[in-house]
Amino acid sequence: MKKILFAENFLSQEECEFCINFFDSKMSDSFQYGDNNTTPLDLLLYEKDFSIFNERTINLCKSLYPSEYTISNNELVKWYPGISSMKLHLDFSTDIWSAIIYLNDGYYGGKTFFENTMEITPKKGSIVLFSGSKIPHGVTPLINGNRYTLAYWISENV
């Protein structure tokens, strides 16, 4: 299964602001990810705070391919200008779906790209859902402004 879905207005402006404010309030709990120079905040510890977003994301997966799914990991991620990007890669083979929800506008760069297919310009509140273990993908260098995302890695219950 190789699919890419882009949908606007997946989160409201208020929901995006909640996520950014949550990250900023918990930034001391985030960690430095050296491969792409970002600071992710692991959300598995905050499942109840994000249950509405988790359920909405799982339901989107089910609408494309009916099955039972588990979130194997999800993170709020802050990307920094001049240093943050991600080279072309595949996610873990156990993850059926990968999702990126864009939480803000006001930056340049930071586009999600897919090998030989497309490039997505982030738009606040939109989501890209794709087969991350099968479709090579990455993020172009962030030129200016901070970029915030809510990322999911989802496995199928077998």
Its domain, for residue 78, covers: 4-156
Q: What is the DSSP letter of 155?
A: E
For the cut 70, the answer to whether the pLDDT of residue 1 exceeds it is no
- pTM, full prediction: 0.95
User: With bands split at pLDDT 50, 70 and 90, how would you rate the model's confidence at 158?
Assistant: confident
CATH number at residue 60: 2.60.120.620
List pLDDT tens digits, range 121-145: 999 999 999 999 999 999 999 999 9
Is residue 101 within 8 A of residue 147, CB to CB? The reply is: no
Number of domains composing the chain:
1
Tens digit of pLDDT for each residue in 60-97?
Answer: 999 999 999 999 999 999 999 999 999 999 999 999 99
38-55 per-position pLDDT tens digit: 999 999 889 999 999 999
Residue entry with tokens 């989107």: 60
